[in-house]
Structure 1
Amino acid sequence: MLIWLKSKGADINSKIEIRPSTRQGSGYGVFVKDAVEADELLFTIPRSACITLDQALQDEVCGKTFQKIIDQAGPGGITVAMAGFMAKEWLLTPTTDNKRTQDTSFGPYLRTLPWTRGVNNQEHILFWSNQEIEMSLKGSMCYSEATALREEVNLAIRVLNGIVKPPIEAQRRKERGDEEKEEEAEQNSGFSWPWQTKSTEDTTTTTILEGLPEAVKGAFVCLLTRAFEDGEGDAEKLVPMLDMMQHSEDPSISHVMRKSDGSVQVRARKALEGGEELFNQYRSELEESMPYHRFFTRYGFVPGVEEDMMNLLQDKSSIFFAQTAEV
């Protein structure tokens, strides 16, 4: 990914490297190979290398329809639109076992993200089965938020299916050398909300595209766990490499978005020795609006707790379950 970032114009300090995190149960992390001074520039990521709302709305095929989602749904539609853009790009991104020769603009970066359960040790509740939710979270303080989030994502899958399915199927036909149904596909590419489908016999939008549910869930997980405020309204963005850093209440880096060009600069908050892992603060653990059970629902882990989450849930830990005071 470092090669791809540099091709996008990123400025990366030669002391930076990516390798497995030192945090138990974590995926990869960002490290400094040699000592750095306080406020030393570690890397700068240009806006063109970030996944932003602008990228989604400027998409040649789906951008205008993503804007319709935002117009209809308000701020909540921004996440749906960005998830749709990411899912579309991911489903068109080459993997090692297919014959695609054309990579998407963000292919190298997308391949570093946790699209499925277990990748980078990501165990987000959006990847859980309904049975796991009912057995492990029923009665917990995060049950209602978890089920509401899953319902939101299921609706998003239905909405996005009508938007990204036609262009993805068209691209897949081209890859197979099958262009006979291109004209028919173009005629059926109109957007409609799930409740506006005229007939159950119209399978253009009612039949879910293969791989789309998993892609949309993965996109939501990436946005929930890795997105940063973009500084433009309620929009968020994904910043490559910055989003690989593990969480700490005592972060070793600071980051700022430059208003001049939208790039993101990351600097050392303090002097660091060679070999140290870089940590960012996702949210303050002291925020009243972010208790540990909500931290878990949002990010998929509990800060400072290395014990298996399933064991804590099974034991009805006070992290997740309200405790009844003894009389």
Structure 2
Amino acid sequence: IRTIPVDGLHELADYGVKLTFPEGEFVAGTTYTCRLLPPAPSIVDVLDALESPLALYDVEFVHIVGPSDSVDWMAAQAKADELWNQQRPTYFKLEARLPFDGEDLNAYVAALLAERQGVAGRFVTVCCQYGEIVDTAGASRLRNAGGLQSGRVMAIPVQRATGRVKDGPISQLTLPDGWEAVQPTLESNGFQTAKKYAGLEGAYWGDSRTLAEDTSDFRYEEVLRTVFKAVRLTRIAALKSMYDEAGDPLRPDSESGLAYLKANLENALDAMTTAGELASYVVEIPSGQDIVNNGVAVEITLVGIPIIREIKLYNRYTYAGSNFDPRIERYSVAA
């Protein structure tokens, strides 16, 4: 029990919130409720704050918490391009806003689709999934599920899809009413969403899409993660050959610098194939290069692990021993 101060101001220090009670009569026992929106710093402030940590650490991705829009998505893509050109592949994970008060699900989806128009970001993901999420204290709050998606990403190898049903449902998340009707549209437009399967309990992640165009090789997060890891490993392996002697091109059987370069690249990718992150790879150094003036060009083909994104079951019913029993032919052939 607290007494309202004379000035009507009361600070909730644990939440960073100040309450203002206007003049009037307040009846004891009355409950007043409100929903607090998360803070929304500008993308300029966020990227400025990231300068120091990104200069010190080579990270796989950056998760920016809080509501974002197309301006934020494009700014994140520009920063990702900058890091890519610096040989530090990094992608960004952002969150869509929550529905406004009084905004129904259809209006919310329409707003997101309008925001998505004309935006392409191959190194950016946007999670628009929200719902009631149970925190570590057991409290259920309406929030974006981007943190849960990031946690799943960090818990699985790079080639694995976050929606793999075998890994189990999203235990802390309850989907909003009517979500199943709009989820396919949001997913097909490049947003990260969750969905339900008939016969299974709980919600599961859908396709882990990026904002890349549908024709891009980077439209799925698992492909992005696999390529980025291979780029990092091969770059470090290639650096061991910087300023090394290339060897005599007329003696290809010699243990030249080019052979050492290729062996190091293959050793780096062998680690990924052994871990099941790649199916295979091909490293080729084309002959006849002007190494003195142009350096060495190495062509690397990464053979990825296919993901089962759709299963079609065709069930047919027949009676045992009938002419349509598929076992009859096998038994007669065996005889």
User: Which bin holds the TM-score, normalised by the shorter protein?
Assistant: under 0.3
- Find the structure with the greater CA-based Rg: 2
Using CA pairs under 8 Å that are at least 6 residues apart, name the structure with larger relative contact order, 1 or 2. Answer: 1
TM-score normalised per structure 1: 0.26
